[in-house]
Chain A
Amino acid sequence: MRVFYFLLIFSALILAATLMIQNFTQDPTRQLKVMKDMSFFAMSIFCTIFAIVATANLIPKDIEDRTLYTILAKPVPRFEYLFGKYLGGMLVIFVSVTVMTILLSAFLYLRQEALLSDLQEYMQVAEQEAEQAPGAIENEGLDLARVEASSLRAQGPSWSLLAAVVAISLQAMVLGAITLCVSTFASSGLFTVVVAFVVFFVGYIEPVVVDSWRSSPEGISGFSNLLISAVGVVFPNFQSFNLVDGIVAGETLPSGW
């Protein structure tokens, strides 16, 4: 139920972003970019927190309530039980992400259409004026408006949005799996949550730190290099799932992703 409260907050956030952004920038393309940026940020925060907090309590709750005993006393292999719990958590994320993507696409489409309609009106007036009094200034304004319209069309709902959503979902799936794994031996739910957040944090910043070290003129010593390699093996590279910035900026997917 709480998941659906979050979905309500998410739609309110997009709506607020749509209305408020007009006060901060007059650039229509930038308005759509900021809207996408805010929505992906909310989506990413939701998936990260949900994947950790909800998954951390799945097994401890069953143990505490002794529901686990009644389940494992049936002919159910332990692997199936764990996998079922994991899939259940991921299904909630999948449904929520799908609803959020539909909401984002709908808001984005409506805003894009409204902005395009304004631009269309401007272009019609400009074309009429250009016909009546042909001159360089009117033609230049018309050309700019055409470029703006084409840029606006590129910022609307597209398949590249879906790639960002898939990347966010995959990141949540990896985090959920790590959290579930920790919760099978952790002594408390809080410990599981803290460990999962630490893994996420290290996995998120480690590639950035390593890149900056390696590009520094001093280079890295042999031991540090070994340590970095060990961290790289233990912690997943969460930067691999960070496609949002590029996609909001209108980039295509990197080859081989």
Chain B
Amino acid sequence: MEPAVDIQDLTKVFKLPSLNREQVVAVKNLSLQVAPGEIYGLIGPNGSGKSTTMKVLLGLISATEGSTAIFGQDSRKVSSRAEVGFLPENPYFYKFLSGQETLHFYGRLGGLSKKEISERSKELLALVDLEHARDRRLSGYSKGMLQRIGLAQALIQRPRLVVLDEPTAGVDPAGSRKIRDLILKLREEEISVILSSHLLEQVQEVCDRVGIIFNGKLCREGPMEELMAIEDQTEILLDKAPAELVEKVTALVAEHEGASLIRSGHPRTTLERLFLEETSGDSPDTRS
């Protein structure tokens, strides 16, 4: 099957506007593939080359060396973008447009008919939970709402690949959780996603595979389970275990030569979950 994204030996060099012709290598010999329906996380510190990789993939800037393809089509071709939706970091759309008009505008750019746009924007406004603000101008939207309408515009022409650059940047935990849930919905619809984020916990929650990029190079890559597992350690999580049972288990471990108990105690919830419990009235499963 054709990969959703195929990046081969990508190198991008920026020439700085200085007299001594200084250059910056933003990405160096980067190769990666994303399978159809896969959620791929691209993580790395600021300035590591994540956004540059995404922009080259979308044909927004040209590669110095290497090739990028979307579903087998050279991504420099305008037609390859019919299959892609993009949400840049901290986007600002035209503030004088309402949510509905914004989707109409991007739908027209995506080549949809008026009827298709009308149906699709209804679906998407419901999906991103912005039906109540459909006629409000974007100048009155909060940052979380802007990110969600941004996600809706990215999905307007039913793309098979969605590229999300820091989709939760500057969004509060509740808004961030909504966006995470939306990304998980994309997986159900078998839409491929490339996601870049500094919220590593979220990346861990939603991604199937992850690539770690540093100084323009892909340092490590693999399936989430594989990367996260500590091969020589085993975790047992007990529910409603009395103190005696825990003591027995501890003694049993001590009896076994070569094995040792590293830590026991109560598992902790996360600050995000605690925040959401207190502010949204929901009680998300703390044991997941």
- Which A residues fall within an 8 A CB radius of B? 65-67, 69-77, 187
Contacts and interface: CB of A to CB of B under 8 A. Distances in A.
Contacts of A76: 78, 81, 109
A75 B82 contact: yes
B94 interface: yes
B75 to A, nearest CB: 11
A73 B91 contact: no
B91 A70 contact: yes
A77 B76 CA distance: 11
B130 interface: no
A70 B60 CA distance: 10
A91 B241 CA distance: 75
B17 A187 contact: yes
Contacts of B91: 65-67, 69-70
Given A77-B78, A187-B17, A72 B60 contact: yes
Given A74-B110, A74-B157, A76-B109, A66 B89 contact: yes
Given A65-B92, A66-B88, A66-B91, A75 B79 contact: yes
Chain A at the B interface: mostly helix, strand, loop or mixed? loop
Contact of B110 (A66, A69, A75, A187): A75
B284 interface: no
B111 interface: yes
Contact of A66 (B90, B106, B163): B90
Contacts of B88: 66, 69-70
B147 interface: no
A240 B92 CA distance: 42
B169 to A, nearest CB: 12
A73 B60 contact: yes
B93 interface: yes
B90 A69 contact: no
Interface string B103-120: 000100111000000000
